[in-house]
Structure 1
Amino acid sequence: MPVISSTKNLEALSLTLVAEFDAGVERVWQIWEDPRQLERWWGPPAYPATFERFDFQPGGKAGYYMTTPEGEKPRGWWKFTTIQAPNQLEFDDGFADENGDHVEAMGIAHATVTLEDLGGRTRMTIRSTFESEEQMQQMVEMGMEEGLKEAAGQIDALLAEHSHA
């Protein structure tokens, strides 16, 4: 399991996941910048993600849905705020309705992804910050922490597949 730790900090309104991979930083960066690779791991195993829109540049937006085992399609959106290849990526994210529009009631979270070179291996840190304790609690109750761990658990297989590309 590549996940080293998952830490909730209510005071900082943050959830931080740290994982390490046997692949270089440039290779791990590809699983974020290529929507087809992102789809292979972003959703937990039983909730595959499909990115319908992916404008990977500061100010650009991504729109996706996950397909549940029951066939429902909850939607989400990202707005990229910082892209510093291949080490840092930041985006706002939230829930979307069936038209892809932001669902105000769920608020907006902000994700910071950092990739660090550990001499041929990569440490990936995903830090999500929330607007309020209530929003954070709601996300945790909806399974965000567990889902992120399960999603990250699929990355090793994806990296192994493309390592000789």
Structure 2
Amino acid sequence: MTVISSTKSTEALSFTLVAEFDADVERVWQIWEDPRQLERWWGPPTWPATFVKHEFTPGGEASYYMTGPEGEKAGGWWRITAIEAPRRLEFDDGFADDDGAPVEAMGTTHATVTLEDLGGRTRMTVLSTFESEEQMGKMIDMGMEDGMKEAAGQIDALLAEHSRA
């Protein structure tokens, strides 16, 4: 299994997912940088993502939706706050309505992604921080932890597929 740990901290208002891959840092960076690769794993298997906008630059925006098993759609957005290729990515993340506008009532999560070289392998740490304990509780209750584990569990196959190309 790709995911080696997931940790919730109500004191720090955070959720941390750590995964390791048999690919170098530059290759793992591509699964964030390339929207076609990103949408292959960003949602859990039953809720695949489609990115309709992906401006991968500091200050850039991304918009996407995930399609559920019954065809229902859930929108999301990112505002990229920092990029230090190929080691660090930071972005604000939130829910979007049918027109792609942020759903303020759901709040904003801040994600920090770090990629660490393990001698040809890569450790990816995704730290999500929340605005409040209430928001964190809602996100966890909605299945964020299992969803992120399932999503990250799809990365190995994507990396293996592209390494053979």
TM range (shorter): over 0.9
1:52-75: CA deviation from partner (whole Å, max 9, x where unpaired) = 000000000000000000101100
Distance 1:111 1:48 in 2: 20
| SS across alignment from 1:120 | coil
Distance 1:54 1:75 in 2: 14
Distance 2:47 2:114 in 1: 24
Distance 1:107 1:162 in 2: 35
1:1-37: CA deviation from partner (whole Å, max 9, x where unpaired) = 1100000000000000000000000000000000000
Which runs of 5 or more structure 1 residues have no equivalent in the other structure?
A: none
Distance 1:156 1:57 in 2: 25
Q: Which runs of at least 4 in structure 1 moved beyond 3 Å after TM superposition? A: none
1:51-108: CA deviation from partner (whole Å, max 9, x where unpaired) = 0000000000000000000101100000000001000000000000001001010000
Q: Hey, what does 2:38 align to over in structure 1? A: 38
Which runs of 5 or more structure 2 residues have no equivalent in the other structure?
A: none
Distance 2:34 2:118 in 1: 23
Cα offset, 1:164, TM superposition: 3.3
Q: Hey, what does 1:130 align to over in structure 2? A: 130
Q: Hey, what does 1:103 align to over in structure 2? A: 103
Among the aligned pairs, what percent are the same residue? 77
Alignment coverage as a number of residue pairs:
165
Distance 2:25 2:7 in 1: 23
| SS across alignment from 1:23 | coil
State the one-letter code of the partner of 1:119.
G
Question: Residue 92 in 1 paired to residue 92 in 2?
Answer: yes
Please give the TM-score of this superposition, normalised by the length of structure 1: 0.99
Please give the TM-score of this superposition, normalised by the length of structure 2: 0.99
Distance 2:114 2:92 in 1: 15
Q: CA RMSD in A?
A: 0.5
Question: Residue 18 in 1 paired to residue 18 in 2?
Answer: yes
Q: Hey, what does 1:67 align to over in structure 2? A: 67
| SS across alignment from 2:29 | helix
| SS across alignment from 2:164 | coil
| SS across alignment from 1:131 | coil
Q: Hey, what does 2:160 align to over in structure 1? A: 160
